[in-house]
Amino acid sequence: MIDLRRLAKLVEDHGDLLDAPVAPFRLSTPTSSREVDTDVEPAIMGVVNLSKDSWYRESVAIGTDAALRLGRLQVAQGAHFIDVGAESIQDYAEDVAAEQQVEQLVPVIEGLTQDGIVVSVEAYHPSVVKASFEAGARVLNLTGSGHDEEMFALAAQYDASVILCHVGGTHPRDLDPDADPGADPIAHMT
């Protein structure tokens, strides 16, 4: 958790980076692209979770039709892109095999991108990411670090943007119990 003390410590340790230039965030579909200068305007992400176990109930959409409706609604409400995921990270949630995630995600990604909606996929399995990119996603919400080389190569191959998440383990369902939650995440992420 980041509280004001930890935030102040990050500024103390990495304050020289505050003035570093930040590239615009590229939001693409297979047929179009635009950039958002996040120094001027936020890039708003809508979230659609295909797992009934997801902790944020308002994001849960069981089935393709419900997911498409929710994604379209979020765009109408101002989201710049829609992040879709098929597995909850809750302790009580069931594991969802990569093949099953692909079966759930691909029709949603295809439907949203056919509407010209930019889609992000939240995943840590390379096979899920590859299938999602093939279906039209062009943002990777990378929630793991177990396959970094392959994930970055896939993102480069499909000219996709990447959102890096700091995870104390190889992915959110495989957290390192010895990881220091107070440790500086910057070095690990860079």
Cα(183)–Cα(6) distance, rounded to whole angstroms?
9
- Rounded to the nearest integer, the mean pLDDT of the chain is 86
| Amino acid 168: pLDDT | 60
Domains in the chain: ranges and CATH: 42-176+183-189 (3.20.20.20)
Q: Are the C-beta atoms of residues 138 and 149 closer than 8 Å to each other? A: no
For residue 60, name the pLDDT band (cuts at 50, 70, 90): confident
Q: Is the model's pLDDT at 131 over the cut of 70? A: yes
For residue 115, name the pLDDT band (cuts at 50, 70, 90): very high
Q: What average pLDDT score do residues 90-101 get?
A: 79
| Amino acid 142: pLDDT | 86
- Residue 33 CB partners (closer than 8 Å, separation 6+): 26, 27
**Around 143, how many Cα atoms within 13 Å sit in the side-chain half-sphere?**
21
| Amino acid 170: pLDDT | 55
Phi/psi of residue 12, nearest 5 degrees = -60, -45
What is the layout of strands, in order, in the sheet containing 119-123? 45-49, 81-85, 119-123, 139-142, 161-164
| Amino acid 7: pLDDT | 85
Q: Is the model's pLDDT at 56 over the cut of 60? A: yes
| Amino acid 164: pLDDT | 78
Which of 35-39, 145-149, 184-188 holds the top average pLDDT?
35-39
| Amino acid 96: pLDDT | 78
**What would the pLDDT profile of 16-55 be if each residue is shown by its tens digit?**
988 888 889 999 999 999 999 988 899 999 999 998 877 6
For residue 172, name the pLDDT band (cuts at 50, 70, 90): low
